[in-house]
Structure 1
Amino acid sequence: MRRLFGSVRSRATLAATLVVAVALVAAGAAVLLSLRSNLIDQAGNDAERTAQNVVTQLAAGKPYDQLDIDDDSPVQVVDANGTLVAATEDLERISGTGTDAVKPQPRTGDAGDTGGTGNTAGSGGEDADDDADDGKSDASGDDTAQDAGEIGDVSELTDGSATIDGDTADYRFAAVPVDTDDRGTLTVYAGGSLEAEQSAVNTALTVMLIGFPLLLGVVAAVTWLVTRRALRPVEGIRSEMAAITASEDLARRVPEPDTHDEVARLARTTNETLAALETSVERQRRFVADASHELRSPIASLRTQLEVGVAHPELLDVPGAVEDTVRLQRVAADLLLLARLDAGEGPGDKRVDLGEVARREARGRQNVAVEADVAEVAGSRGQLERVLGNLLDNAQRHAREAVTVSVGRDGGWAVAAVADDGDGVAEADRERIFERFVRLDEARTRDDGGAGLGLAIARDVAARHGGTLTVRDAPAGGALFELRLPLA
């Protein structure tokens, strides 16, 4: 299971399917609830119309046995005492209304009640017959003989069931009251069938139960195919990176798709990283090789002098041995500083006066003129001293007569310039001289020159302090090295 959902494609497919499933369930539930609510309201309206029809007849004084009641809808007429006085003809069972009774029980003596025992207002003779005739006329022909009753609003809507002529169904019942002068307050219960609501909801539910899984299957399949196509370049990048790791060939590159999306940017970034890594590894190899060579020479020379001194003490060149030892010490110090810089050693945040550093480094050197103002920068005093010291060493090696140092401000920058009156640096070599172990004059003896690390160290330190180190022609001829650092 972990392996199955360990890929981006599987997780994307699962996530998309789950999101669509939740959306479908929520939408389906909303549709079902809305459909059911609308159909229930429709059934309630039907029940209300049926009840209003019966109530209108009761308000007009129509007798119970002459009420026009739809045989397909359950209807009950209940008096103030809760007695059923009229109902649908074939009503067999009912629930959800004011009473469970299905057979009317009219009260004796009610006006218009044909189920009573007759009119008891008088008896015998013509007067009785005339009164009977008058009563009969009032009860049957003329609706205006009785005052119309007052019809109330729907008092409540309830759900229940009823059985009519053997058919049982669920209904929405509406209760409508009516106040009559002769029969008191009556309540009519009428039902609207919920069969349409149940049928529609069941049909919609069936469609959803069948359609939703099919739709989810389509979504999962489409998502799987789309993510597979989208991630195909990623698989190509992965396989090429695995091959590069196995072969250790940093010259290889991953394929870049012809798109402008995240995968294409990933491929380009990966190739840039590989290029930087290749450059770094190659530089490291050259560094190790050159360092070994630079260290081998003074060590071999020192060993030779010591061996000669052991065999022939009178031939020991003590000054030469000291010079080789100093040169070996300086190369080792430069290599250690480069190693710390490559490891990411920070410059620090101490305030350093670049003018003071220039004056201090120039002190004791011959033919070096200094003109330095106060220019404070943030960084490492030791590293900045190394930068100016290396620049002065390089200028003195190439100068004919004089070296000048100036320190000042230029906007938000501190600028230190070291110029000599030598031959200068050709424009084609002005970037190459900042590479490690590069010496333009290969014929120059190692005793007169350095190991080719001074300018490389100076530029690295300048860059880590947020500045730059460049070279151009000096106004009086020779080379001018300009160090620019942000003011503190």
Structure 2
Amino acid sequence: MSRRPFASVRARTTLGATLVVALALIAAGIAVLLSLRGNLTGRADAEADAAGREIAARIAAGTPYPALDLPDGDDHPVQVVDARGRALAVSEGLTAISGTGTSDVRPETGAEAARDDEEDDDPDAGGAGVVTGHGQGRATVDGESAEYRFAEVEVTDPRGGTVLVHAGAPLAAQRDAVRTASVVMLAGLPVLLAVVGAVTWLVTRRALRPVESIRREMAEITASQDLSRRVPEPGTHDEVARLARTTNETLAALETSVERQRRFVADASHELRSPLASLRTQLEVGVAHPALLDVPGAVEDTVRLQRLAADLLLLARLDAGERPAHTRVDLAELVRVEVADRAGDGTDVRVEAEEGDAAEGSRAQLSRVVANLLDNARRHARERVTATVRAHGPWIYLEVADDGTGVPEAERERVFERFVRLDDARARDEGGAGLGLAIARDVARRHGGDLTVTAAASGGACFVLRLPRAGSPEQPEA
């Protein structure tokens, strides 16, 4: 299967970073160009204002219109019009103008102007010019047309006539500056994007190098099925280092689980082999010599196989995550029933229980726990076993104590492992496979409780089963 373009994280990151930077640079460039254009336009308006005010001051001082010293039309084209839009004076060489409100560029003759001035005669003296607005247009001077910013300055001449002075400032410098900035930005943008892309590519490759090492090691572990190997952990404290540590923790848990499963299968095969071999031998002897058939022994081996199969089936269901039922179980009653079923086996079992104390869960599974604890205590007791049921806060406790030799402190966790039997237990075992206590603890923990072992007051072992109390308003913490 071929790799699609930009399928890698490094390529996608580089492309994304380059696109983001490109958009940011384009937006910043547009903002810069708009700001530059606005500043240059403001400068042109200021130049036009200055030129217009200067002409307006001369008009207010009484300078005749034909005698106005207007600036060169190439730099600042000027158009002076009256209130009716008729040209009174224009810059030399100005042949066309737009953007000022009137396109008249032919000044009135002296006689016509004088007659109009007499009609508009006003005794007040002339006033200073006031800028009333700005506009943009074109002017043709000596046959060359260009864009200008025009300032409109209103002034009153000494005879009281209202005159508008339109003075322009060229926009050629603005156009050149904006064009130069645009060219520089467009030329520099690809170079800058190339630098950003290259740096991002190199930085991403360096950042993802540990990830590639982890992937390569995981591929080798998968191919070799060697769960004892671990992925390399970088010396940093970032997300990649945490990923490596989590991966190694997962591999360790998986290795433990697989090893436990292998050991479980091996131990189960061993435990099944002995009673099956014994039963087969007895049956073969019975076929050859019926008088020598040990029927009680065959029945005993069959019962042992049945119990072992039931224990293995329960462990398989527990490992599969089977959840216990939510049934109210009277633990004291359950203990009495199991004790009654074992009456007459020669062991004195004393029950001390508070009535009404109940747990919540699967009656069948909790019955198996109680039975396993009583059978274990009965096998190791010298004379007496004591079963105590009591409640304390949100918990209900079952303590099963015997007067045997007890469990050494160093072995108190090991006895809950599957197929584990201490040497003393092997010498006195009546057929157990070492699964009873492991099943009891698994069931207890799946019910939200726990199972531990301590030393009994009589010197033997005391197994303490703790379960959440049914109907307790408090939520117990495991």
TM range (shorter): 0.7 to 0.9
SS of residue paired to 1:108: helix
Q: What's the Cα RMSD here?
A: 2.8
Task: Name the counterpart of 1:45.
Answer: 46
Matches within 5 A, 1:4-43: 4-43=5-44
Query: Does the 8 A contact of 2:53 with 2:130 survive in 1?
Result: no
Please tell me whether residue 429 in structure 1 is matched to residue 411 in structure 2.
Answer: yes
TM-score, normalised with respect to structure 1 = 0.86
Which residue, out of 371, 375, 382, partners 2:352?
Answer: 371
CA–CA separation in structure 1 for the residues paired with 2:337 and 2:161: 121
Which residue, out of 301, 304, 314, partners 1:324?
Answer: 301
For these two proteins, the number of residue pairs brought into alignment is: 461
Task: Name the counterpart of 1:123.
Answer: none
Greater shift in the superposed pair: 303-312 or 184-193:
303-312
Deviations 1:80-108 (A, max 9, x none): 22222211112233222212333323473
* 1:212 shift after superposition: 2.2
Query: Does the 8 A contact of 1:371 with 1:405 survive in 2?
Result: yes
CA–CA separation in structure 1 for the residues paired with 2:36 and 2:335: 88
CA–CA separation in structure 2 for the residues paired with 1:37 and 1:376: 85
CA–CA separation in structure 2 for the residues paired with 1:479 and 1:446: 15
* 1:163 shift after superposition: 2.7
Which residue, out of 459, 464, 475, partners 2:457?
Answer: 475
Task: Name the counterpart of 1:226.
Answer: 203
Matches within 5 A, 1:66-465: 66-71=67-72, 72-106=75-109, 108-111=111-114, 147-149=125-127, 151-154=129-132, 156-180=133-157, 182=159, 184-366=161-343, 367-373=348-354, 374-441=356-423, 444=426, 448-465=430-447
CA–CA separation in structure 1 for the residues paired with 2:34 and 2:53: 28
- Counterpart residue identity of residue 20, structure 1: V
Greater shift in the superposed pair: 246-255 or 55-64:
55-64
CA–CA separation in structure 2 for the residues paired with 1:7 and 1:34: 40
Structure 2: runs of 5+ lacking an equivalent: 471-478
Query: Does the 8 A contact of 2:56 with 2:128 survive in 1?
Result: no
SS of residue paired to 2:48: helix
- Counterpart residue identity of residue 126, structure 2: A
Q: Which protein is bigger by CA-based radius of gyration?
A: 1
CA–CA separation in structure 2 for the residues paired with 1:6 and 1:180: 78
CA–CA separation in structure 1 for the residues paired with 2:352 and 2:180: 97
Task: Name the counterpart of 2:475.
Answer: none
CA–CA separation in structure 2 for the residues paired with 1:54 and 1:180: 11
CA–CA separation in structure 1 for the residues paired with 2:142 and 2:398: 112
Distance 1:68 1:411, change over 3 A: farther
Greater shift in the superposed pair: 350-359 or 199-208:
350-359
Deviations 1:356-378 (A, max 9, x none): 43334333334222223344444
SS of residue paired to 1:101: coil
TM-score, normalised with respect to structure 2 = 0.88
Taking every aligned residue pair, what percent have the same amino acid on both sides? 65
Distance 1:167 1:465, change over 3 A: farther
- Counterpart residue identity of residue 437, structure 2: L
- Counterpart residue identity of residue 403, structure 1: V
Query: Does the 8 A contact of 2:78 with 2:91 survive in 1?
Result: yes
SS of residue paired to 2:151: strand
Greater shift in the superposed pair: 215-224 or 312-321:
312-321
Structure 1: runs of 5+ lacking an equivalent: 121-138
SS of residue paired to 1:62: coil
* 1:343 shift after superposition: 1.6
- Counterpart residue identity of residue 102, structure 1: V
SS of residue paired to 2:111: coil
Query: Does the 8 A contact of 1:359 with 1:372 survive in 2?
Result: no
- Counterpart residue identity of residue 225, structure 1: L
- Counterpart residue identity of residue 288, structure 1: V
Query: Does the 8 A contact of 1:62 with 1:112 survive in 2?
Result: no
SS of residue paired to 2:165: strand
* 1:206 shift after superposition: 1.9
SS of residue paired to 1:363: helix
CA–CA separation in structure 2 for the residues paired with 1:337 and 1:252: 33
* 1:57 shift after superposition: 2.6
CA–CA separation in structure 1 for the residues paired with 2:360 and 2:86: 102
Deviations 1:121-163 (A, max 9, x none): xxxxxxxxxxxxxxxxxx9xxxx99611474441x32222223
CA–CA separation in structure 1 for the residues paired with 2:46 and 2:469: 85
CA–CA separation in structure 2 for the residues paired with 1:11 and 1:449: 65
CA–CA separation in structure 1 for the residues paired with 2:9 and 2:449: 44
